[in-house]
Structure 1
Amino acid sequence: MDLDELLKVRARFDAEVREGAQADGGGALVVRVGPVVRQSVPGPGWNGVLWSDLDAETADAQIAAQVGFFAERGCPDFEWKLYAHDRPADLGDRLRAAGFVPEPPETLMVGLVAELAQLPVDPPEGITLRVVTDEAGVDLMMEVHAGAFGSERPRIREALLSRLRDEPETVAAVVAMAGDVPVSAARMEMRPGAAFAGLWGGGTVPQWRGRGIYRLLVAHRARLAAELGIPYLQVDASDDSRPILERLGFGVMGVTVPYIWTRPGPDAD
């Protein structure tokens, strides 16, 4: 895709996935409050701001309003998902001034399903794919995440279990197995009628990297998206994933940075 086409796709992404966001399950509620779209959940899950349309006069008040909302609910933390093209241009600085801490930036990328579905899907030698449909499969994914990313992800586990139980049509998860050992895992999240499916959680344990497994999982999910009539795959790519995705044909739509607000502890000033 050339730059003009990428900008058009990004505008569609903003309108459908961010401003027109749907709740991601687990009792989550997405609402628009003036110039802000946010999601809140009653238990484990993702709380945060998905989209905003602010300016220099309204930004600080809206940031304070969202902090107040989530603090009043007792949330231990929430995320403001900032994109580089969001307004005002200094929104990141304003978030930091309000106590948010930025995590590493990610590259917002998009791929055409019609092209990605043509990638070869033959597994590397010794690898088989296991489709995740139950708690045992989710636990295999969490084992991969711990090995690939070096951290436990209990919120993702609970959210994925909730989706598989209540809305299985909105998620497709897969684990690459080397015999009985899980070595790579990934999921795809989508909504009926949506133009975009999101690729999430793609990771491979260090000793199995460089063998084409990540590419295999992208191709597997692209074929599923093609069967569902979804035209675009979207990824928030790490620095490790970006070059692989670019080689597969993904284009760059921009940069996104998760800004995290954490409830102050009892000893905070």
Structure 2
Amino acid sequence: MKILVTGASGQLGSELKRALHEVSQEISGIETFFLDRKNLPLDQLILIQDILGMYQPDIIVHTAAYTAVDRAESDRQAADTVNHLATAEIAQYCHIHGTKLIAISTDYVFDGESDQPLKEDAPTAPISVYGETKLWGEQAVQKWAPDSIIIRTSWVYSSYGSNFVKTMLRLMNERTELSVVADQIGTPTYAHDLAQAIVQIIQSPQWQPGIYHYSNEGEISWYDFAVAIRDIAGLSCAVHPIPTTAYPTPAKRPRYSLLDKSKIKATFGVIVPNWRESLKHMLHASERGE
């Protein structure tokens, strides 16, 4: 089995590299390819299918994306090219060659006006360019490769790359107090856990196409998340809750984007850890240099 991962240098791509390496050590016949933006330039649409053809993968895990949410508001074309048009090229390749596709999407496809955990069939209504282009990418996958799996996730962090957890740790070591938004609700996703879930899906005896939701268990705000980061890391920085209106950004964020994970758990038997336990795992692994 040949597995190709896009976005290899990103948070999820890096975690998948580690997870799939462990699997390949235990199971023979698994060959993996990890492509970053140099190996697979998603802004050069005409090259994408030819590059994928060089590897002839059986499964593509498409994690690469334009994720600069605020910059996307003034850089719509670049966001659309990577999140939508490049994803369409990958989906078309999968359709032509019978390749399975797992595509990663986001809670930003929702408007954040719900007050209940969001199921996969909840109405989509993105309120940012990033969310809009990711939704168009989903639609392209469903059009060209309807047998694909789409996984929406939220608030991703890991030991790799730039993310909220690492930013908070840096700021809390530099400052005596911070203010963090307390009225945006959801759940963080430890990329390590999502990578394990993807590997479990790949190894599943039955391929069940469709849209699935994955984040860690629990319901918190960004403020709650920051306080937990401080406490688990043993820092003393004061953290103050503020409303979204006190921290304006170019892109609007969903007010409520808690994802319902029932479907992925029932279909693939995925066990979803609680967000606090996963945060502890990440912080302790970082302390050990893992």
- State the TM-score, normalizing by the size of structure 1: 0.32
Q: Higher helix proportion, which one?
A: 2
Q: Higher strand proportion, which one?
A: 1
**Greater relative contact order structure (CA < 8 Å, 6+ sep):** 1
- State the TM-score, normalizing by the size of structure 2: 0.31
